[in-house]
Amino acid sequence: MAFEPTRDGRRAALALLLAALALAGALVLAAVRAWTPAWRSTQAEFQALGLAADEGALGLQQGVNCAGEVERCTSCHLAVRRPELGGRALPIPFRPHPGDLLRLHPPRVGCTDCHGGLGRALGLPAAHAMPDGESPEPQLRGAHQQARCARCHLPSAALGMPRVVSGADLYLELGCALCHPLSAGGRGGFDFGPELRALGRRSPRALETSLIDPTANFPDSSMPSFRATFEGQPEALLDLLVFLESLGLPPGGDCGLQALSAGWAGRPCADCHAGPGGEAAGRFVHRCDHLRARAEELRCARCHPGEIPPAGPGGGECPAVAVQRGACGVCHLVADPEVGP
């Protein structure tokens, strides 16, 4: 076919026009998607329910938590600080914070300080950081929530952290501390497992895997499996998990412990939580003090429930300590009262 300049020029121009229209269409599509994120429809629902107190409370909400990290949780959880909505049956993102906890905490404490999750992200599942259940710093739910209380508050059953307290006992009873110390640069016994002071940033699922099937996370691990130990003992497993999740430093800065004790209600923690009696708000025992005291108790009492026998001819050598280094719980079930020498 002969080349006809005019017709060909028109055809080329038409192709260019169509391509330009396609590009414009794509950009319009992108704009529509960019301006209709999921949190906007959540806010529209909120408005439709007649709950929006004023227009200013809508739009992208940003705050800063104790660690200085931006969080945008209240863009969807719009009624968290509106206790007057408490009595109504509302969908989850629109419910006010339950209980008295918001009032009892300083206003600088952010959602993620207690609940975990990725505060900068918006929308499920990114914000709750559980796309695969393996994210570090995931949103903590149910009993796992107690782990976050223990980041700032000293563990005490009276403060609503019973699982952290009994989990700490399990940590000692099972002999975890033999390999995994809780001290800076500390080295345990046996094959020197890593220290666990910052373990709490792991997801509950990764921690559970490490207990039940240690080589699944780390193929070279020589850690024994605790599958048999926790067989049929979901409560004990949860206790230990919550304790492990609680391991971490409290946030620094404005909400740090020092600032809290000096600035919150104008009184140091010890005014309410220590000293004679101490029952007013629950007695605090520092995590380290608690662990040290319990370790001493458990050291002998586990095999010798009554009186501790005097040192024998072996110079006080106890086989359980000398040979097994006290790691009885690795093999003997936690709840078995018949464990003997």
Partner 1 sequence: MSFLGALLENLRLLPRRAWRELRPGRDPLPPGGDEASRRLRRAFVLHLHPLRVTERALSPWVTLGLGLLTGTLFLALALSGALLMVYYVPSPERAHASMLDLQHAVAFGAFLRAVHRWAAHGMLVTVGLHLLRVTAQGAYRRRELNWLLGLGLLGTTLGLAFTGYLLPWDQRSFWAVTVSANLLDHVPWLGAWLKALFLGGDQVGPAALVRFYALHVAVLPALLLGLLALHLWRLRKDGGLAASAGQPALVPAWPHLVLREAAVALAALAAVCTLAALLDAPLGAPIDPHLPSNPEKAPWYFVWVQEMVSYSAPVGGVIFPGLLGLLLCLLPFLDREDEGLGRWFGPGRVRAWALGWGGAGLLAFVAFEALYLGAQAGGDAPASDLWNPATGMLLVAGLAFLGAGTLARSTRAACLACLLVLLVALVGFMAVGQCRGPDWVFYWPWEAWPGGV
Q: Which residues bind partner 1 (CB under 8 A)?
A: 3, 5, 8-9, 12-13, 15-16, 18-20, 22-23, 25-27, 29-31, 33-34, 37, 60, 62, 69-70, 72, 118, 120-123, 126-127, 129, 131-132, 134-137, 194, 201-202, 206, 216-219
Residue placing its CB nearer to partner 1 in the complex, 41 or 62: 62
Structural contact between residues 62 and 71, judged by C-beta atoms closer than 8 angstroms = yes
Residue placing its CB nearer to partner 1 in the complex, 95 or 201: 201
Closest CA to 167 of 135, 208, 115, 195: 208
Residue 10 CB, nearest distance to partner 1 (Å)? 10
Structure tokens of 272? 């309410």
Dihedral angle over CA of 235, 237, 239, 242, nearest 10:
-130
DSSP string, 61-73: --EE-TTS-EE-G
Residue 20 CB, nearest distance to partner 1 (Å)? 5
Residue 291 CB, nearest distance to partner 1 (Å)? 23
Structure tokens of 14? 């038409």
Residue placing its CB nearer to partner 1 in the complex, 29 or 293: 29
Residue 202 CB, nearest distance to partner 1 (Å)? 7
Residue 30 CB, nearest distance to partner 1 (Å)? 4
Distance CA(254)–CA(251), nearest Å, equals 9
Residue placing its CB nearer to partner 1 in the complex, 217 or 324: 217
Structure tokens of 20? 């330009």
Residue 299 CB, nearest distance to partner 1 (Å)? 30
Distances (CA, A) of 244 to 38, 94, 138, 164, 215: 34, 32, 14, 8, 18
Distances (CA, A) of 50 to 4, 92, 119, 127: 67, 16, 26, 25
Residue placing its CB nearer to partner 1 in the complex, 15 or 335: 15
Distance CA(244)–CA(200), nearest Å, equals 6
For 270-273, the CB contacts below 8 A with 24+ separation are: 273/154, 273/156
Residue placing its CB nearer to partner 1 in the complex, 201 or 325: 201
Residue placing its CB nearer to partner 1 in the complex, 106 or 136: 136
Residue 135 CB, nearest distance to partner 1 (Å)? 4
Q: Give the CB-side neighbour count of residue 131, counting CA atoms within 13 A.
A: 7
